[in-house]
Amino acid sequence: MGSDNRCYLLDFSRTFPPTTPDRNIFNGHLFQLFRPEYVKAYPEPLCPDAFSGFIRADPLRAQHNRAAARATDILLHSVIPGAVTQIEQTFTDSLRRGKLEKYHLSEHFHRFGINMRYVGVLLRRVDNRQLAAILLIEALARALKNDLLQKLREKQRDLKVTVSAPYRQLIIDFLNLVFGDPVFQGSKKWWEQIATKELPQKFYVESFTLPGVKEEVAHKFYTIPITTSPDLIPQDTSSLDPLDWRRLLLLMNEYIVNGSTVVTGRYILFVRLAKMMALDFMQTTYQKVRGSKYWHSEAPFEMLDLIEQCMKVKHTNMVTTATGNFYHSKALEAIKYASVEEAMAFIDVANNKFEEALLSDPTNPQVLLAYAQTCAKKLELERTGGRSMADCKFSIDDPDVTDVDLYFLWAIQASKKLSPKSQAYAVFLYARFLVKCQRLSRADDYFLRSLECDPNNLRCLRTYGRFLMDYFNNMTDSGWFLKRAEMIGRSAFQ
């Protein structure tokens, strides 16, 4: 408390409360914290110093610790089981439409306030074999990223030079260790370390066994052999221990049916690791990993495959969202001058920025609304080619339109904690979108909801008045709303 009677936050590292400490993680109470989405939705305040020595002298210490422990139990035994159905549903829908690359696990985890370190907890409750494979790949990719970063730090500490060649070679050697023949690479002990310590202790994975039975697919694709040694993996894999490291090798050839194509676990793991580490590879390298006769099992990667290790900067959402809004405005300006290709390029950049922001803050109403708007604008451009966009109509049966509809609804739900004017704006934009979807009755309802939040919203009054006139020929009510808009407009300029 300052001398001005205002509270000041001095230590941002202690902003959020910790989950119940894991005895296998040293000082875990300092960094294994609840997600902000969970803290905001939790019905009682939690102490950020719980389980720490900072409250050793606090008479309410035991009470604070019990509250944090109770919140952890609710997260693990209520929130996570309750999220499984919706995560499975969104995942299955993404696969059906062939949009696996647009499916971000972290966004769906964070929307429920679930930390990514609990991927193993959710994995135990999943019956969908393909989703289970994706969850296990996500945990493995994160474990591999941590190991590679540690190796790069050690190399930098030893060499004390900034030239890129030694680090590029280290990255290639690491990729060969992961994706190459474990017999040739001599990587058995390394894989055992990943299987028995990294995944169980840091991501709570209790088994590498996937649910269900691997079915045959009609698609033809090149299957890369796991190893040239016939004795490494037995024909009857059911005899393997649930945490046997060889099950992770089998995961490499697990297939995911993504729309009309098939991708393997190896390819998904490679793409995920490359993205997390900001590694830029040759296009032929991706083709090789996807399945090619040019794959050499012993050491599949060489220096020429890696173009560069790019710089990855993690901005706060304020910066990322502002950048997205900037490119959205540039797209609207390009549309004004009939530059459709330029507008599409700007919208794609804006969408990428909003998606990046949603990965870490998926319940932010401003970002959700901005993303829904840019996606809707992109659909308009694609459908009309930039001509007569005002007359563009959508079909709610279109999966892309359904996605936009969902993000608008999420934005409205999240905006309930904002001011009435902010709520009114989100509902108004959704009502306009519904008009384009030709869902007129629903649009009428949402126009009225917007006016309930802000009865003097000039823009909504005018739009709703014209809507009643054009679609329902209701001249009486239309005239009233337009007259009301005119009165408010006059008073605003007086």
Which 8-state DSSP code applies to residue 353?
Answer: H
With respect to residue 332, please indicate whether it lies within any of the assigned structural domains.
Answer: yes
Are residues 271 and 328 both part of a single domain?
A: no
pTM: 0.86
Highest mean pLDDT among 2-6, 282-286, 308-312: 282-286
With respect to residue 365, please indicate whether it lies within any of the assigned structural domains.
Answer: yes
- Assign residue 454 the CATH number of its domain: 1.25.40.10
- Mean per-residue pLDDT for 343-356? 94
Q: Which helix (H) or strand (E) holds 117?
A: none
Check whether 229 has a pLDDT greater than 80.
no
Domain that holds residue 38: 12-80
C-alpha to C-alpha distances, 360 to 106, 108, 130, 195, nearest whole angstrom: 8, 10, 24, 27
* Alpha helices (H) along 204-280: 246-252, 265-276
469 with 442: CB under 8 angstroms?
no
Half-sphere exposure of 357 (CA within 13 A, CB side): 25
With respect to residue 122, please indicate whether it lies within any of the assigned structural domains.
Answer: yes
Domain's final residue, options 284, 309, 334? 309
Are residues 337 and 302 both part of a single domain?
A: no
148 with 171: CB under 8 angstroms?
yes
Are residues 65 and 133 both part of a single domain?
A: no
Are residues 461 and 340 both part of a single domain?
A: yes
Domain's final residue, options 59, 80, 101? 80
> pLDDT band for position 221 (50/70/90)?
low
d(C-alpha 434, C-alpha 443), whole Å: 5
Are residues 452 and 346 both part of a single domain?
A: yes
> pLDDT band for position 220 (50/70/90)?
low
Are residues 38 and 147 both part of a single domain?
A: no
Task: Give the model's pLDDT for residue 492.
Answer: 63
Are residues 323 and 448 both part of a single domain?
A: yes
With respect to residue 479, please indicate whether it lies within any of the assigned structural domains.
Answer: yes
9-21 pLDDT, tens digit per residue, is: 777 777 899 999 9
Give percent helix, percent strand, percent coil of the chain, each to the nearest 5: 65, 5, 35
Are residues 366 and 470 both part of a single domain?
A: yes
With respect to residue 380, please indicate whether it lies within any of the assigned structural domains.
Answer: yes
22-31 pLDDT, tens digit per residue, is: 988 888 888 9
In the numeric block, the tokens 């050839």 are attached to 253
165-175 pLDDT, tens digit per residue, is: 899 999 999 99
Q: Which two tokens stand for residue 178?
A: 């992961």
Task: Give the model's pLDDT for residue 380.
Answer: 92
Are residues 256 and 395 both part of a single domain?
A: no
259-307 pLDDT, tens digit per residue, is: 888 889 999 999 999 999 999 999 999 999 988 777 888 889 999 999 9
With respect to residue 190, please indicate whether it lies within any of the assigned structural domains.
Answer: yes
Are residues 268 and 330 both part of a single domain?
A: no
- Mean per-residue pLDDT for 93-108? 90
Total tally of structural domains belonging to the chain = 3
d(C-alpha 489, C-alpha 494), whole Å: 9
d(C-alpha 170, C-alpha 155), whole Å: 8
Q: Which two tokens stand for residue 97?
A: 């439409």
Mean per-residue pLDDT over the chain, rounded: 90
Are residues 277 and 203 both part of a single domain?
A: yes
Are residues 332 and 350 both part of a single domain?
A: yes
Closest Cα to residue 380, out of 389, 368, 388? Answer: 389
With respect to residue 89, please indicate whether it lies within any of the assigned structural domains.
Answer: no
With respect to residue 459, please indicate whether it lies within any of the assigned structural domains.
Answer: yes
Domain's final residue, options 80, 95, 124? 80
d(C-alpha 384, C-alpha 396), whole Å: 17
